[in-house]
Structure formats: structure tokens, C-alpha cells
Amino acid sequence: MGRYNDIFQKSISDPQGFWGKAAEAISWHKKWDKVLDDSNQPFYRWFAGGELNTCYNALDRHVESGRADQIALIYDSPVTKQVQKFTYRELRDATARFAGALRGLGVSKGDTVVIYMPMIPEAVTAMLACARLGAVHSVVFGGFAPNELAVRIDDAKPKVIVSASGAIEVSRLIEYKPMLDKAIELASHKPENCIVFQRPQVLAQLIAGRDHDWAELVAKSEPVDCVPVKATDPLYILYTSGTTGLPKGVVRDNGGHAVALQWSMEHIYNVRPGDVFWSASDVGWVVGHSYIVYGPLLAGCTTVLYEGKSVGTPDPGAFWRVISQHGVKVLFTAPTAFRAIKKEDPKGEYLKKYDLAGFKYLFLAGERLDPDTYHWASDLLKRPVIDHWWQTETGWPITANPMGIEEFPVKPGSSTMPVPGFDVRILDSNGKELGPDQEGIVAVKLPFPPGTLPTLWKNDDWFVKSYLAPFPGYYYTSDGGHKDRDGYFFIMGRIDDVINVAGHRLSTGSMEEVVSKHTAVAECAVIGARDALKGQLPVGLVVLKAGANGNQEEIRKELVKMVREQVGPIACFKQVAVVNRLPKTRSGKILRGTMRKIADGETYTVPATIDDPAILGEIETAMKGMGYGKDSSSRS
């Protein structure tokens, strides 16, 4: 751990010196007065007094430094059967002109703009155009229900909303405009103007006086230059997904964000200017912000914007086709995408059709990478498969195997080491630090490194209450886990995924790890269901691989036996249901909390982020079949 250890220790012992040096990779309009301003704790500010423009750093400086004709963005859309490529000059020019369109509608530095768009190049242009003007963008995942969009409109109070006529979800058309109109009707705040990009597959009806056609507006707009902003000024607001009531608006500043993402591209992902980097996420999520748009462009890479799925657009070879066709060096996606590929093509037959010679690394995040999926992907690809862990709030990885610093041997189930800048600790419920192999609460000692949230949008009190109050001096991650004697971190999932069985605290993540090892299981979830006798009992739901052989009842018995042998009889794992699919958010996270409410017979709200609400009916049926849910005698 020579090079990593030196870099990590420097980042913790001398954050001012460490991040001051890292900031030299960014172009500044005015250099900072102080790298870390800790005068108003716990509100730390990075690069106080400095001025810069994020769009300039992502586009203009590359054009000026000789990369004007390098491809900046590849738009690959199997759902519309098209591929478009944009050079840095072309993307800069399109962004400057759209920034002119926004300015023509009165948008200036400090104003907010809501972006409600599918995975099209115009979504990237809109984000960068806001940054160019010093306006604060808030991207809302395209297709969110009107009421969810409305609460975000009311919180962000945008001067303009940028949208599109619709999206293509595999083969289904989704009209955005009716949802946008309904959201504005529901919202108390009424934006002055909306800009709508008309897609040929689905046309929208525009409201005279409020709505503007993107193409027509841009055609009569003049390009504008970048507006310098303070390093501590907000770049964007991103609302945590699935929030009910008042949404939590995570704020990202301009200076720390640019420095951290530029640094992460080289040191975590091991990419250099000109490399092709693909994050198979959505611009509506934090991964899309950090590693589809800003990170790769800040680093001078070519980024891939993919409008499709891992399977079904058109087959389980979709990812291999994109990697091969575009020369992708690094793919970053969610474990659930690979579980879907594994389910449809367990032997990896589709991979044989493509040449992946230039492909170097697979990075996975979004939820815990179970060892079975790790081994499947690793054996199939014969390349490093890297689990790394982070959150919407942090904006970039907390723990990772840093390919650009030092490659550590992989331990399946571990997201490896703390990323430099993140002083990660395992605490007990009283805030006392725990030793190796002791399960506890994962926390990060303050100050946070650059690029992480400085606060919540116009709600400092909620920021302190949610993240800092539980353990003063630490950021509370809400995740549980442990560190082994080699310093590897194992993040086992949200703290509420620890269940109490007859007084014994057990991790459902550890049970999922066992269940996922069964050769017939494609993916699984284990949740805690209320029990009158033992308090809680674990309940398993499994999706079987395509062509999985064996009687379902036999498979259930084998799974119960595996957990009993590998976790222990103390787990009381006896109930397993086979289902066709698990309910997930559109970003791929399994909705364990919703399933837990179903099992306990509680009233639940269908999450706005769910990819298919119909799945919940199957889960209710499965729970009733095991004696859980409404009108069940198994629960208290």
C-alpha cells in the first residue's frame, strides 16, 4: 500500500496542501484566498474567494488547448436507432447558443432552472448552458410523476423549465408534456417560461405565451460567453430520489465539485484525456451528473450518453456492442444491470460476438455488489471488476479500488479502501469507534473533501439534523458495515436493513450474499418482516436465471439450508418466494423498504422512482403466500 498510503495520509493530514495542489488542474478566473475555510463549522467551504466557470472547464478550455476536434460526446440510442457524435467545438457552440436562449428569457447568475428531460444530447447541453451562465440547474429524472415534479418546482422555484416532448422506454412512448403541464398546475410556483425540445417520435402541444420550441428559440439566439462565479456558489441542486413531502435538495458547489471530479477521473478510474468513458446511468441521477456529464468532460475524455437498457435494446449483448463500437475503456454502471444480463444470458454467449480489446475496467455502484455477480462478471470479462461506494450527497466515491493510484487485490463483497479525502470510520450507536471486523455504523470524519454537499438547498438546519447531529464531528452515512484487518471496507447496506431476530441483530445483506451464491438465482432480496414471537424474521425473494433447472420447492429448501449453514440457525431463515422480478427504482436500487411495508401489512405509497408499479402486486401475492401482508396472522 505504498503509493496509496502516502497519498491518502497526505489528504487527511494536510487537506489544504493536498487539494490546493489538485486544484491546479482546473482553470481559475481568480485564485482562491483559502483552500479550506473552516471558520463557520460545521459548514466547511472549499476554495473560498476563488472564481471559475464549470462550463469553461468542461468545454472551452479543451477547445482552446487543441482538443476542439476531439469527440466530446457520443449519443448512442438503440431505441431510436441512431448514433450522433459531437466534438468539443460542436458541444461548446451548441451550449453557448442555448445559454443565449436562456439569457434571452431572463436567466442570469443565481437563477434556478429545472431540467426534465430524457437521455438526449439536449439534456447535457441544457445542464452545461446553465453552468455557463452561473445559473443553478436542478435535473429531475425524466418521467417522474407530476406531483413529484411539482414539489421540486416549488422548492427550487425555477425561472425556466427545460423539457422535451417525450421519451422512448424500450418500445413504449412516454409523453412528458402532459406530465409537465399537470406539475405546473399542481405547483404553487409558476415558471415564467418553458422550453420544449420536440422529438420526432412524439410531438407536444405548446401553450402560447409560456412554452417555446427549442429549435425555434435557439435559431434566433446569440451565443454567450462563460460567466465567472464564486467557487462556493451552487452549480446544481439534486433532490434525493423517492422523497415524500419536502424534498431534500442536495447542493453542489462549483469549485470543489470541479476539483474533486477532475481528480477522481485520473486517480480512481485511471482515465486520461481522449479516453472513452461510459457511465450507463441517467442524467437525472447523481451518477449521471458526475460521470456522464461533468467528470469526463472536465477530464477531456469522450463520454457516452446511452439511451437504452442492458437487456431488451435489443438483447443481452447491448453493453458489449456499445463498448466494442465506441472503444470504451471504462464502463460504470449498477450491479442490477449486470444481474439482468446474467439472468438473460447466464453463459455470456452474446459477449462472443464483440471485440472488447480496448476495454480495461468495469466499475459498479448504486447498491452493494454481491459476490456472486462479482465472480460472474469477473470470470466473463477477465478484467478488473471494481465495486465502489458513494451517495447522492457525496457526489463522488467514498470507498473504491483506486485504479489510477494502486490496484489492490479484490475481496468480493468489499468496496476496498477509503478514497483519499474521506476519513471513514466504523462507529457504534454511541459514536465510539469500533475495531476490525466489528459491525457498526459507517461515518466520515469531518471535514468532508471537496465535491461533497456543503448543505441542503435553503435548509441548513435540516442538513445538520440529517447528516451531522447523530455523531458530532462526523457525516452520518445511514449505512452499516465493517472494516477488516487489512483495512478493506464492507458496506452492508442501509442501517434499517439490519433486523432484530429474537434480540439478535442480523444483517439481511449477509443473508443476501449467501442466497445469491445459488447457481439458479439471478438476483435476490432479503427483508425483515414483523413477527409476533421473534420481533422480526427474514423473508427472501428470488428471481431465477433464464433456463434455471430444478423444482422451485427444491430450490427454496436449498436456499434455507445454505443460509442455515453459512449464517447459522440463529437467522431463522425459512421463508423464500420465487418472483419474476424485484421492484426497483429506475436507477436500479431494489425497493426493500416498500417490500418491508408490504410484508408488515402497512399502508405504503408507490415510490415515484419505481420502474414498474405493477410488480408490487406480485410482491403482495408472494407475501400472502408466505403468511405476510394485510390480513395475515403471521405478523403482530
pLDDT per residue as tens digits for the range 447-498: 999 999 999 999 999 999 999 999 999 999 989 999 999 999 999 877 766 6
Residue 74: phi, psi to the nearest 5? Answer: -110, 120
**Where residue 114 falls among pLDDT bands split at 50, 70, 90?**
very high
Distance CA 570, CA 563 (A): 10
Q: Is the pLDDT of residue 503 over 80?
A: no
Grid coordinates of 51: 472564481
The pLDDT value given to residue 502:
61
Q: Is the pLDDT of residue 519 over 60?
A: yes
Distance CA 27, CA 226 (A): 12
Last residue of a domain, one of 178, 209, 226: 226
115 is a domain residue: yes
**Where residue 629 falls among pLDDT bands split at 50, 70, 90?**
confident
Query: Distances from the Cα of 177 to the Cαs of 113, 198, 242, 318, in angstroms?
Result: 17, 10, 21, 29
594 is a domain residue: yes
Contact 418, 283 (CB under 8 A): no
Q: State the CATH number of the domain containing residue 525.
A: 3.30.300.30
Q: State the CATH number of the domain containing residue 219.
A: 3.40.50.980
Residue 21: CB atoms within 10 A of its CB come to 13
- Tally the domains of the chain: 2
**Where residue 416 falls among pLDDT bands split at 50, 70, 90?**
very high
Cell numbers 449464517 correspond to 567
232 is a domain residue: no
Contact 418, 489 (CB under 8 A): yes
The pLDDT value given to residue 497:
67
Distance CA 418, CA 135 (A): 33
54 is a domain residue: no
Distance CA 339, CA 309 (A): 12
**Where residue 586 falls among pLDDT bands split at 50, 70, 90?**
confident
Determine the 3-state secondary structure of 124 from DSSP.
Answer: helix
Query: Distances from the Cα of 211 to the Cαs of 161, 167, 206, 430, 536, in angstroms?
Result: 9, 18, 5, 54, 53
Last residue of a domain, one of 226, 254, 286: 226
117 is a domain residue: yes
Grid coordinates of 381: 470479462
406 is a domain residue: no
Grid coordinates of 249: 435538495
Give the residue numbers spanning the domain of 163.
103-226
Distance CA 279, CA 454 (A): 25
Cell numbers 442538513 correspond to 463
Last residue of a domain, one of 226, 245, 277: 226
Distance CA 210, CA 580 (A): 45
Sort 635 into a burial class: Cβ within 10 Å, 0-12 / 13-18 / 19+: buried
Residue 620: phi, psi to the nearest 5? Answer: -60, -45
357 is a domain residue: no
Contacts of 267 (CB under 8 A, 6+ apart): 7, 402, 404, 405, 420
Residues in the chain, overall count: 636
For residue 163, the cross-strand partners are 116, 196
How many Cα atoms are found within 13 Å in the side-chain-facing hemisphere of 256?
Answer: 30
Prediction pTM value: 0.85
Looking only at the bridges linking them, the beta strands covering 45-48 and 34-37 are: antiparallel
Looking only at the bridges linking them, the beta strands covering 51-52 and 521-531 are: unpaired
563 is a domain residue: yes
For residue 46, give the H/E element and its range: strand 45-48
For residue 168, the cross-strand partners are 173
Closest CA to 74 of 366, 343, 279: 279
